[in-house]
């Protein structure tokens, strides 16, 4: 019986506390008109970070690359005449990135940012200048083989090849990007 007495006392106390409380009408509510933030592709961001980490710790598979070696890559399904036009420099270069003098990490960051920007802008063909590696030690080029690896791992890269001599030769690549 004491429980019932306590419960009724609690009910009375609560009712006493609500005495004088007014219910707000809908016109008294505050409406915030702040725009919703743009969605962030979290999985894509995580994938990009994972790829960058893997590339920085990957073994040096490129020790045999020399300054004069040509780079060449074509995704399966790309027509031969498309790649032939790319090699001949017959596509209009819409943007350019120069990686001379950058560290591995800086070059990777610049390259990733560049690809994201050109993809968003709908650019299809670019030139990336990686240099021939003449300023590197006896080990040969550093950035050139990394660019070769990094570009091959990106799905949006359809093809790339060393540029014509007038556009940098084996110190640069023409890159064909998938349309969005």
Kindly give the confidence (pLDDT) of every residue in the chain, 180 residues in length, as a single tens digit, with 9 standing for 90 and above: 445 555 555 557 777 777 787 776 666 666 677 777 778 788 877 877 777 666 655 444 444 677 778 899 999 999 999 999 999 999 999 999 999 888 889 999 999 999 999 988 999 999 999 988 766 666 678 889 999 999 999 999 999 999 999 999 999 999 999 987
> Any residues with CB less than 8 A from the CB of 148 and at least 6 apart, and which?
62, 65, 71, 73
Rounded Cα distance between 101 and 129, Å, is 11
Alpha-carbon separation of residue 53 from 42, 99, 109, 168 (angstroms) = 17, 19, 11, 29
Structural domain including 149 reads: 69-177
Phi/psi for 177 (5° steps) reads: -110, 140
82 inside domain: yes
Q: What is the pTM of this model?
A: 0.65
6 inside domain: no
- Give me the CATH number covering residue 93: 3.30.1370.110
């Amino acid at each position: 019986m004491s429980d019932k007495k306590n419960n009724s006392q609690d009910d009375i106390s609560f009712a006493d506390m609500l005495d004088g409380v007014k219910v707000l009408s809908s016109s008294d509510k505050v409406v915030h008109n702040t725009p919703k933030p743009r969605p962030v592709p979290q999985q894509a961001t995580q994938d990009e970070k994972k790829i960058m980490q893997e590339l920085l710790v990957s073994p040096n598979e490129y020790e045999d690359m020399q300054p004069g070696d040509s780079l060449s890559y074509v995704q399966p399904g790309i027509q031969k005449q498309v790649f032939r036009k790319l090699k001949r420099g017959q596509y209009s270069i819409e943007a350019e990135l120069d990686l001379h003098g950058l560290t591995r990490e800086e070059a990777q960051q610049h390259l990733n940012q560049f690809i994201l920007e050109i993809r968003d802008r709908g650019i299809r063909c670019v030139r990336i200048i990686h240099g021939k590696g003449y300023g590197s030690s006896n080990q040969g080029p550093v950035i050139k083989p990394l660019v070769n690896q990094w570009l091959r791992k990106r799905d949006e890269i359809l093809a790339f090849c060393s540029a014509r001599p007038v556009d940098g030769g084996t110190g640069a690549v023409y890159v064909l990007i998938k349309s969005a």
